[in-house]
Structure 1
């Protein structure tokens, strides 16, 4: 007797074979010449697009550790690593390939990743005052756009915004929308503890929707406090919980209703949201606090896309069954220790058919980011 996971995998393989047979598809995925030992079977040509890849440019780090000192920021670089700290959190020692673009390109080739969507990560830029907040965002966006200009076929940019002031955020949004390589906006799951349905952020979301840019979220300053301080639970549990909280505020707070063309992408396979959405539906049926929505919360799951950083094939099975293959996008969390060194191989290990695999590896991300073939 097969387990449910095996049955699900067999079902997807059969669907993929049927689709490939119907279309006569016997083609190979386009992989960089230096991609190394990765071997492919009969796949559909697609550029693999990693939408969850973090970048810390030195221009940004020097500003963080220089003018940021007045607000508790620091940055140190060693021979093979670097570290930084802010009141909103710090990291380190981290490998220099977070900074070194050439080392990053070698890793991408070894992993079979054709394109990375560069993004900032913890601590974002919300921890200083208004002026430095705006300067940090501008420094990161300019540096990331420069990387795109140097390697236009390998990198695109998810711009960060100075969300401490709405006017500053909109000014930077409109400026970066014209920068080469910018294909979306990156935002924390909360802004210094303020949730994303706070009315003060409404003009920012309205302008993002008008510009047709997708929003990608990432946890920062997560829930849990001291109860998650041990065992790295601030990441292991705090990150997926904070993603679920942010998405729930976007749903229950009416943000997705007010901006029907706004697309939001959730990290870590949606965190805890997909598995708990039935509980949100139950609340919608019984609690008056949730009834400002015209539809039950689960109907909004397809307003999001979900990256593949799940660490579980069965979680991807669940997403495919309940959200659909068109909403999964490749992610690596490059190059943190909780990410994937081989994100493409992880997707290939799940047993998708050719069309499904092509969609997850790059087709869905290309559609969301507006990339050409």
Structure 2
């Protein structure tokens, strides 16, 4: 499927060339100057920034058609429709790197961690699931090769099959710029403590890669159809459900070095943790843990997409400033257009603000 509105043929050829070159680079080399600059300059690092490569979009609309996938594009927007959810119309700057860089410069963002969002790669059959993941990871890495000081990559995995997920994890972890793994708060309505995913988390832990979650196929159904509640409430509650399964399902106990970042400031999880602790005290089905659930809150990191200064203050006071990382949800309408200036709502000394802006993320992503 051709998408003439997105990227010129000349640019397409260039991206293809860079993708081919990517295999010849050692994974750490392109980021050497970025790591040095991050330490010296205190760069701002946005860990919640979505990217849709043209190759991924075209795959959804071509090979994905037989599975119910559809991709449309006009002069200024594009849209998806898949069994795992639809999006759009979305601005083309999700695809166009030059426009993205211009926004980053205007917003004071030095580095973005590129990630896939809805519809992710958890639909259709096993082979197409794997093809979606490899296509996205290769394209995102090619962008990082072109702009090694501006981007890192959070790889997506074909999580419908553990063997496929581990195969792609091994391949993607060697691509230039890959610094972590991105996955949904559920995988095709399977929660993250499902035994299917246990070997995947084990290998991620061995590779010492951080995991970043994002809501996918959220809870609520028809009751959240009106008023955009599927996003306004569905996203933060799905994040809370995912975090609860990771804790109560024993994933965090079985993988003590697994590092997980929750989106949208942890959603509803931090504010409801007192109730979850109360359940742990009285309900036998929650007592598989050695420690109370709230003790696991510092096992997670939390992005700043809260839309509330007091919520971030709550996280700082109750979990710790070293667990907050900058996020924008670029470039959805429910994200921050100015993620850096949003932090001005917090009365923090410069050294603490710099931790949130980039210091914590630089350590997490090994930048």
What residue is the counterpart of 1:221 in the other structure?
Answer: 217
Is residue 273 of structure 2 the alignment partner of residue 313 of structure 1? no
Equivalent position SS for 1:51: strand
Per-residue CA distance 1:86-123 (angstroms, 9 max, x = gap): 01111111000000000000000000000000000001
How many residues are matched? 328
Q: What is the aligned counterpart of 1:129 among 115, 125, 129?
A: 125
Where structure 1 has 5 or more consecutive residues not aligned to the other structure, the ranges are: 1-43
What residue is the counterpart of 2:34 in the other structure?
Answer: none
Is residue 169 of structure 2 the alignment partner of residue 161 of structure 1? no
What residue is the counterpart of 2:4 in the other structure?
Answer: none
What residue is the counterpart of 1:184 in the other structure?
Answer: 180
Displaced runs of 4 or more, over 2 A = none
Equivalent position SS for 1:231: helix
Equivalent position SS for 2:305: coil
Q: What is the aligned counterpart of 2:81 among 85, 90, 112?
A: 85
Equivalent position SS for 1:68: helix
Equivalent position SS for 1:232: helix
Equivalent position SS for 2:226: coil
Is residue 265 of structure 2 the alignment partner of residue 269 of structure 1? yes
Shift of 1:290: 0.5
Equivalent position SS for 2:212: strand
What residue is the counterpart of 2:324 in the other structure?
Answer: 328
Task: Provide the C-alpha distance between the structure 1 equivalents of 2:101 and 2:276, rounded to a whole number of angstroms.
Answer: 42
Where structure 2 has 5 or more consecutive residues not aligned to the other structure, the ranges are: 1-39
1:208-357 mapped onto 2 (5 Å cutoff): 208-357=204-353
Q: What is the aligned counterpart of 1:200 among 191, 196, 199?
A: 196
Per-residue CA distance 1:247-280 (angstroms, 9 max, x = gap): 0000000000000000000000000000000011
Which TM-score applies when normalising by structure 1? 0.87
Task: Provide the C-alpha distance between the structure 1 equivalents of 2:41 and 2:348, rounded to a whole number of angstroms.
Answer: 15
Shift of 1:84: 1.1
Task: Provide the C-alpha distance between the structure 1 equivalents of 2:194 and 2:307, rounded to a whole number of angstroms.
Answer: 32
Per-residue CA distance 1:171-199 (angstroms, 9 max, x = gap): 00000000000000000000111000001
Shift of 1:348: 2.3
Shift of 1:352: 1.3
Shift of 1:349: 2.7
1:8-19 mapped onto 2 (5 Å cutoff): none
Shift of 1:53: 0.1
1:133-144 mapped onto 2 (5 Å cutoff): 133-144=129-140
What residue is the counterpart of 1:175 in the other structure?
Answer: 171
Which TM-score applies when normalising by structure 2? 0.89
What residue is the counterpart of 2:93 in the other structure?
Answer: 97
Q: What is the aligned counterpart of 1:145 among 133, 141, 165?
A: 141
What residue is the counterpart of 1:358 in the other structure?
Answer: 354
Q: What is the aligned counterpart of 1:57 among 39, 53, 60?
A: 53
Task: Provide the C-alpha distance between the structure 2 equivalents of 1:312 and 1:112, rounded to a whole number of angstroms.
Answer: 20
1:14-29 mapped onto 2 (5 Å cutoff): none
Per-residue CA distance 1:210-247 (angstroms, 9 max, x = gap): 00000000001000000000000000000000000000
